[in-house]
Amino acid sequence: MSERDPDRAVSQTVRAQLALRDLILSGRLRPGERISELGAVETTGVSRTPVRMALVRLEEEGLLEAIPSGGFMVKAFSERDILDSIELRGVLEGLAARFAAERGVSARDLEPLKESLAELDQLVTQDPVSVEAFSSYVAMNARFHALLTELSHSPPLIRQIDRASALPFASPSGFVMAQSVLPEAHQILIIAQDHHRIVVDAIENREGARAEAVMREHARLAARNLRLALRNRTHLDLLPALALIRSPVTE
Amino acid sequence: MSERDPDRAVSQTVRAQLALRDLILSGRLRPGERISELGAVETTGVSRTPVRMALVRLEEEGLLEAIPSGGFMVKAFSERDILDSIELRGVLEGLAARFAAERGVSARDLEPLKESLAELDQLVTQDPVSVEAFSSYVAMNARFHALLTELSHSPPLIRQIDRASALPFASPSGFVMAQSVLPEAHQILIIAQDHHRIVVDAIENREGARAEAVMREHARLAARNLRLALRNRTHLDLLPALALIRSPVTE
DNA sequence: TTCCTCATATATGTATACATAATTACCGCT
DNA sequence: AGCGGTAATTATGTATACATATATGAGGAA
């Protein structure tokens, strides 16, 4: 009853979850910092019950860690943790691609993936890729990966991939924006798109091992992007997820 | 204030979670059935708040599914879902074994795994394996898999494996008890133990690909056990997890 | 000065009351 | 007799009040 019209659409729990996630990823809540329920109530404007729900969900999401004595703290990640999360996602996406290849995909189901591939081609072929192009690349890339995952037709696997990709630095598009300011940008984009093309081809020809291997290697591009971005320390602001890293990157 | 001494140790939330999980796995709550919060309050004896917490956690655990209009229902699994979950666990454990092999494990860290291996040997070498032996095999097998997972030294991966193994039919020991009444029991046990031995050897010699491959194949033993158990329809009561399966096995 | 203890305060865990949305049942109409 | 609409009931989402456990600070004694 206390709500105005514009907010009525989403639940208080979701609103609290979004607000807290934003606070964490933006770095305003530092890794290791304890999250006060009362404080969260003040900043989010909702009561303790939905705040607690949101905290539990964020813990399952991997952004928070339960404190043994009670409550939650912001999780801290090492660079190794991030690289492992990327490798993990690659392994899972590799399994999805192998399932799709081994089990076969109807031409009708493969259609959307090929369309997505063609859309990506449009972007990659322009030589100086504009920053706006990178933004839309992020969305289209996410769509390609989502479609590919679905082709596994395996709900348990899709669920696990979603969970693994929930951490922003592990998502398929996690470090794409870092490319936009790197000299190697265009090369990496071309290679990534080649991976996309190969995996579609492998699925179509039911080459399971090939599809799996290329998706694993594809994920490692994200690891390369991360390392490159950490070398040239500039433009780390493009990667809010790095606010969660343990020691080095805090400005 | 309302608690007696013996119960004070665990929180109401955990108690509700355990009670509800037991209700689900025992099949008293059927797949697809909506879980009434009020009903859960009556059966568990705790109030709505911890019940809701438990429901959220069980959803993240994979046993419940959120209903769009609100509330939760018991999740239903197909036989394919179960087989995929097993394959998924194998892939993740394979990654853990590969990490351990590639990154190297100190002799001191490998010691507990070798001890666990030796303990398992003791059991496997008796020819007619007693039913009690199978029970302790379940615990020792779980320990071996947990130790192996830890050797990856990768918190994100360990976390994902724990999540994947949370579903009872996907856990490393999920279908071991089914073996106890199967004629092929001893053979499968011997093969499984050989896998254990090989993965330790592969890790010790830093053979990443071999370690990964054998753990994948190892998980497929569980799939074989499942299929065998579903053929000889006897003793399905040893596998309470199958209460979650969609169509066939409901008595 | 330092450490231990006790008291106070604040935090989380739990219970319940209230409001709103959804589902169901019943009645009327076609 | 079947379908649709409305009302009533029940369910979930939210807020808050209460109890308990933990953490912190102050005071006293060694």
In this predicted model, what pLDDT tens digit does every residue of B63-101 receive, in sequence order? 999 999 889 999 999 999 999 999 999 999 999 999 999
DSSP string, A88-102: HHHHHHHHHHHHHHH
Contacts of A150 (CB under 8 A, 6+ apart): A158
Residues of B in contact with A92 (CB under 8 A): 88, 91
Q: Using one digit for the tens of pLDDT, what is the confidence trace for B121-177?
A: 988 887 666 777 888 899 999 999 999 999 999 999 999 999 999 998 999 988 877
Specify the range with the lowest mean pLDDT, choosing from A142-151, A197-206, B195-204, B225-234. B225-234
Q: Using a 7 Å CB cutoff, list residues 21-60 of A near strand D.
A: 46-50, 53
Share of chain B above pLDDT 70, in %: 90
B41 nearest nt, CA–C1':
C15
Q: What DSSP designation does B167 have?
A: S
Contact of B141 with B214, CB cutoff 8 Å? no
Q: Using a 7 Å CB cutoff, list residues 138-177 of B near strand D.
A: none
Q: Using a 7 Å CB cutoff, list residues 18-57 of B near strand C.
A: 46-50, 53
Residues of B in contact with A57 (CB under 8 A): 56, 60
From the CA of A8, how many Å to the C1' of C14?
28
pLDDT of residue B235: 67
pLDDT of residue B234: 62
Of the pLDDT bands very low, low, confident and very high (cuts 50, 70, 90), residue B9 is low
pLDDT of residue A234: 62
Q: How far apart are CA B73 and CA B29, in angstroms?
A: 9
Q: What is the pTM of this model?
A: 0.91
Positions in chain A short of pLDDT 50? 1-8, 249-251
Q: Using one digit for the tens of pLDDT, what is the confidence trace for A102-143?
A: 999 999 999 999 999 999 998 888 766 677 778 888 999 999
Q: How far apart are CA B65 and CA A52, in angstroms?
A: 20
Edge-to-edge, what's the strand order for the sheet holding B34-35? B34-35, B72-74, B64-66
Maximum pairwise Cα distance, chain B: 58
Of B84, B91, B155, the CB nearest to A81: B155
Q: Chain B residues with CB-CB distance to A under 8 A?
A: 49, 52-53, 56-57, 60, 62, 80-81, 84-85, 87-88, 91-92, 95, 99, 154-157, 159-160, 163-164, 170
Our CA-based measurement puts residue A157 at a distance from the nearest CA of chain B, in whole angstroms, of 7
Residue A172 corresponds to which tokens in the numbers above? 């398929």
- Angle, vertex CA A205, rays to CA A203 and CA A209, nearest 5: 60
Report if CB A149 to strand D is under 7 Å: no
Mutate to test the interface with B, among A47, A51, A56 (most CBs of B within 10 A): A56
Report if CB B8 to strand D is under 7 Å: yes
